[in-house]
Chain A
Amino acid sequence: MRKTVVAILKKLLHTVILLLVLSFVVFSFIRLIPGDPVKISMGPMTPEETIAQKRSELYFDRALPIQWAHWLKGVITEGDFGESLFTHRNVAEDIKQYLPKSLELVFYCAILILIVGVAVGTISAIFKNSWLDNLIRFISYLGVCTPAYAIGVLLLVFSYTLGIFPIGGMPTIPDNYVRTGMMGLDCLLVGDFALYGQVLKCMVLPCLSLSLGSIAYMARIHRGAMVENINADYIAFAQVAGVSRGKLVMKHLMKPSFIPTLTIYGLQVASLIGNAFIIEVIFRYPGFSQYSLNVIQNKDPYGIVAVTFVFGIIFAVVNALVDIGVAFLDPRIRINTSE
């Protein structure tokens, strides 16, 4: 166990170094962007002296390594990610405001994907080659090929006609509720269940559009893993030994099948965060992905650096979690530190 922990820590450390280098690369990219982001942010008629002052304040008049070092120092010592030229405040504040909301959305999606994906995959495997299996496989195949925005658009069309779920936006959370920044969780912590219900209701469509593709993919993977295991010798043996069907499926089939499933699951959840932005745009979900899109489109230097940095950390953390999960499920697998 200790070995695993050490290995994971090592891996995380490695990732941190990787991310630091990455931030430097992104900084140099940003310096290549044509045009002057500082000038643009100050309005059309601002005199050159004011712009020069601002440029100096943001370290844009200094050499790239100095700017990077200054940024890094700020991040490490006081969590200061620099000033966003898009929101005119510290990027750290933006992250604090938007990231929890995206994480909450992804959290619900992750749960949905795990449960529905595994359930559908299991059903498909148990009724292998029946019409139900074929139908599920067909739909999953289609789901994998459908971009999230297409699902979002289709859901939009439906909800226009049905009018059950709100098609965009989120309820306003009173300022005195805010504790974690996650809208639903804050409502729960305060005990306002009515508002929590509203929040959830608003999340249904974005959550579905975001997760349907991954559900389809998970179902495929899980079915494949289950089918492989159904044919394994030990299952036949267990059947002969008179293990009940329910127990057989749950204990002997499910668990080993979870190893490939979980690995893919981790990757899917990580990619959710990257793919969320179109969905957040379509459904006007005030999350981090939408913020990222804005800073990228507005060429906001410190914003872009922070966004790539945060996504890198999320990727790394999710991967570490997957490693831990797999290690629990299968003691034979030890985390490989060299890679």
Chain B
Amino acid sequence: MKTMKRILCGVLSAALLAALAACGTTDGGGAANTAAPGNTGAPSTSAPAGATVLRGTCTTTPETVDPARGTGENDLMLYVNLYECLVAPNAEDGSPEPQLAERWEASEDGLSYTFQLRQDVTFADGTPLTSKDVKYSFDRMMTMGEGFAYVLKDVLAETVAVDEHTVEFKLSKTFGPFVSALTAFRIVNSALVEANTAAEGMYGDNGDYGTGYLLTHSAGSGPYVISSFTVHDTMVLTKNANYWNGAVPAAAPDTVEIQELTEASTTKMLMSNGDLDFVHGHQDSTTIAALTANDGIEVAELQEAGLNYFMMNTQKAPTDDVHIRRAISYACDYEQMKQILGGAPDANGPVPTNLFGYVDDFEGYSYDLDKAKEEIAASKYASDLANYPIQLDYIEGNGDTGKLVYLMASSLESLGFKVVINETPWVQFCNNEAEIATSPNVTNAFATAGYPEAGSILELKYASWTVGNWNQNEWMQDEKFDSMLNEALGTVDDDARIALYGQMQKYLVEEVVPSVYTCASVIKPIYNANNFEWPAKHATTEYNFYYADYIMK
């Protein structure tokens, strides 16, 4: 017993000493390192001397590094650095230009596309890229069915590797935006993925199809490779030493460290201490103002191929009445909302003005409470507004959207509506949108096109078969619109297709009124111009985060 007590005493005093020592070290460290307070991501030991490091933040890390699975903005910003596609959007207007393919041609009937691949492409591990990899990547995406696979789901019948550098896509029906859609399909290194495929998995002979490996590893041909990836924490990219398209420029950062960081206060602190080089583009206006007060800190305004929408549920009372939806469109104070978002460009109709296929031969809506009252009077709920509360949801922590929602709600209340607001966490938001019963009357969110063409956003937002996802709270079940959409997507001729897109936009704005088009979506990443030079603007948002173009100082 006695010895036991001694041991315990010993342990306690040891703990005491350790703590004292710890306190001592802490103070010492504080004194020695005052020059760099707020150090978080500085890889003081991991990078070799002289290597340049670019440190940035994102709203959330992608969940995987697998290009077959993600469609979000953060996914794409990562993918463009790691993977490449047959065609990529060009910098000026986002129309497709060759990347891994040299050239391509379509058959007369529009049911077959043949692509000639470049012969000099190698993946990051040195393996040459061949038609086998292209076939593997497309088969893999279509089998898995996640990510952008939905775009070609009913279109792509078969991918054929004709010879080592020729690939033929056989379509089951004509699809006008086919080449444009290929900008969303990235090519993976089939040998590498197959070598790391687990035999057990949900894809039969293909095991897990390499999904386990691609959670944290990249297998692409892009200028960077993933060197470390911790989901919802940090990702580290390093230069691809074997990059096929000439060496990655020496001025580009050797290492890129992106951490998940949404807290504005920490962001401000790290940025003003010089511990970050750029921060993600969804800061609220207060944070932007505080950040840009520092010397050399600048804002890069990037207009996305998307809009801010108030998405109105066409199946739920009272927003099932088109008059109520028109009233809401008139009740939106567009000017003040644009101001809240820091002077975002106008939106006119459902398609972003910078997207291929935008047409403006119709009259949109403006802030006009008198017209709103007229519309309410014409609706079947006119006498009974109080019994039909409007549920208005928005996503927690989504920049300034909360303010837009409050503004809209107070405007609606002044018209006699009863409004219930919910600030919903992201997952809950998606969860609610999965079924009509849990979808609210109105949601506010930004939606962007999956590939650079009007058809993408029109399908995603208004087709009857894309309901159940958060991009479409409208719950459109409009046969006329569906047939117009199918006709447009099946039209190979560009001019004819644009004309059809135009009819659809007009139809939506004038007759269906499914959403309020607040303004264009602009993201505003903020960066330290003392540390690096931001490249020329690219029409497609994610290519502005193509780190090989960055020039470190």
Q: How many angstroms between the C-alpha atoms of A196 and B22 in the bound complex?
A: 10
Question: In the bound complex, do residue A171 and residue B42 qualify as a contact, i.e. CB atoms below 8 Å apart?
Answer: yes
Name the contact of A45 in the complex, choosing from B32, B259, B466 (C-beta under 8 A).
B466
Q: Does residue B427 face the partner (Cβ distance < 8 Å to A)?
A: yes
Which of A57, A198, A331 gathers the greatest number of chain B CB atoms within 10 Å?
A198
Interface segment among A6-14, A36-44, A222-230: the answer is A36-44
Is there an interface contact between A168 and B266, defined as CB atoms closer than 8 Å?
A: yes
Contact A167 B29 (CB under 8 A): no
Q: A1 on the interface (CB 8 Å rule)?
A: yes
Asked whether, in the complex, the Cβ of A201 is within 8 Å of the Cβ of B64, the reply is no
CB-CB under 8 A from A35, the residues of chain B are: 431-432, 434-435, 438
Q: A88-B63, A168-B263 are in contact. Are A42 and B146 (CB under 8 A)?
A: yes
Q: Is the CB of A172 within 8 A of B146?
A: no
What residues of A have a CB within 8 angstroms of the CB of B466 in the complex? Answer: 45
Which segment, of A106-114, A131-139, A312-320, faces chain B? A106-114
Contact A45 to B29, CB < 8 A, known contacts A114-B15, A298-B427: no
Is the pair A45, B39 in contact by a Cβ cutoff of 8 Å? Answer: no
- Answer whether A88 and B146 are a contact pair too, CB < 8 Å, given A164-B30, A200-B25: no
Give B150's nearest chain A residue, CB to CB. A45
A97 at the binding interface (Cβ < 8 Å): yes
Known: A34-B431, A200-B22, A294-B232. A171 touches B64 (CB 8 A): no
A220 within 8 A of B: no
Indicate if the CB atoms of A50 and B37 lie closer than 8 Å: no
Q: Determine the distance from Cα of A88 to Cα of B213 in the docked complex, in whole angstroms.
A: 11
* Distance of A172 Cα from B41 Cα, bound (Å): 6
Cβ contact within 8 Å between A88 and B64: yes
Give, as a whole number of angstroms, the nearest-CB distance from B69 to chain A.
7
Contacts of B28 in A (CB 8 A): 197
Q: Is B228 interfacial (CB-CB < 8 Å)? A: yes
- Roughly how many angstroms separate A304 CA and B419 CA in the complex, as a whole number? 34
Q: B485: shortest Cβ distance to chain A, in Å? A: 15
Contact of B230 among A97, A166, A171, A196 (CB under 8 A): A97
Could you write out 11 A-B pairs with CB less than 8 Å apart? Answer: A1-B1, A45-B469, A47-B145, A47-B153, A197-B28, A198-B29, A198-B44, A284-B263, A298-B427, A328-B5, A331-B1
The reply on B468 being an interface residue by CB < 8 A is yes
Q: Does B425 contact A (CB under 8 A)?
A: yes
Check A87/B63 contact, CB under 8 A, given A45-B71, A108-B22, A204-B26: yes
CA–CA, A1 to B5, complex, Å?
12
B265 CB-CB contact with A under 8 Å: yes
The interface residues of chain B lying within 8 Å CB-to-CB of A180 are none
Q: Beta-carbon contacts of A297-338 to B below 8 Å, as 1s and 0s?
A: 111000000000000000000000000010011010000000
- Provide the residues of chain B in CB contact with A329, threshold 8 Å: 5, 8
A200 to B33, CA, bound (A): 12
Listed from nearest, the 9 A-B pairs whose CB atoms lie closest are: A44-B469, A169-B40, A197-B29, A35-B431, A45-B150, A111-B19, A50-B145, A168-B266, A47-B145
Given A164-B37, A166-B40, A196-B25, 16 more A-B residue pairs with CB atoms under 8 Å apart are: A44-B71, A108-B22, A111-B15, A156-B265, A163-B34, A163-B38, A167-B38, A169-B259, A172-B257, A192-B45, A194-B44, A200-B25, A201-B26, A201-B30, A325-B8, A329-B8
Known contacts being A43-B146, A89-B215, A174-B45, is A201 close to B430, with CB within 8 Å? Answer: no
Contact check, A163 vs B37: say whether CB atoms are below 8 A apart. Answer: yes
Q: Using a Cβ–Cβ cut-off of 8 Å, how many residues does chain B contribute to the interface with A?
A: 69
A43-B71, A164-B34, A165-B30 given; A195·B45 CB < 8 A: yes
The size bracket of the interface on A is 35 or more
Is A53 in the interface zone, CB < 8 Å from B? yes
Q: How far is the CA of A194 from the CA of B37 in the complex (A)?
A: 14
Decide if B427 touches A115 in the complex (CB within 8 Å): no
Q: Does residue B231 face the partner (Cβ distance < 8 Å to A)?
A: yes
CB distance from A107 to the nearest CB of B (A): 9
Contact at B38–A40, with CB atoms within 8 Å?
no
Known: A45-B71, A169-B266, A299-B427. A201 touches B33 (CB 8 A): yes
Residues of A with C-beta under 8 A to B434: 35-36, 39-40
B383 within 8 A of A: no
A-chain residues with CB within 8 Å of residue B37 when the two chains form the complex: 163-166
A46 lies within 8 A of chain B by Cβ: yes
* Chain B residues with CB under 8 A of A86: 232
Rounded to whole angstroms, the CA-CA distance of A174 and B70 in the bound complex is 28
- A1 to B22: give the CA distance in the assembly, Å: 34
In the complex with contacts A40-B434, A87-B232, A195-B45, A50-B146 CB distance below 8 A: yes
- B143-185 interface mask toward A, CB cutoff 8 Å, 1 = contact, 0 = none? 0111111100100000000000000000000000000000000
Nearest residue (CB) in B for A46 is: B146
Q: Which residues of chain A are near B69, meaning CB under 8 Å?
A: 43
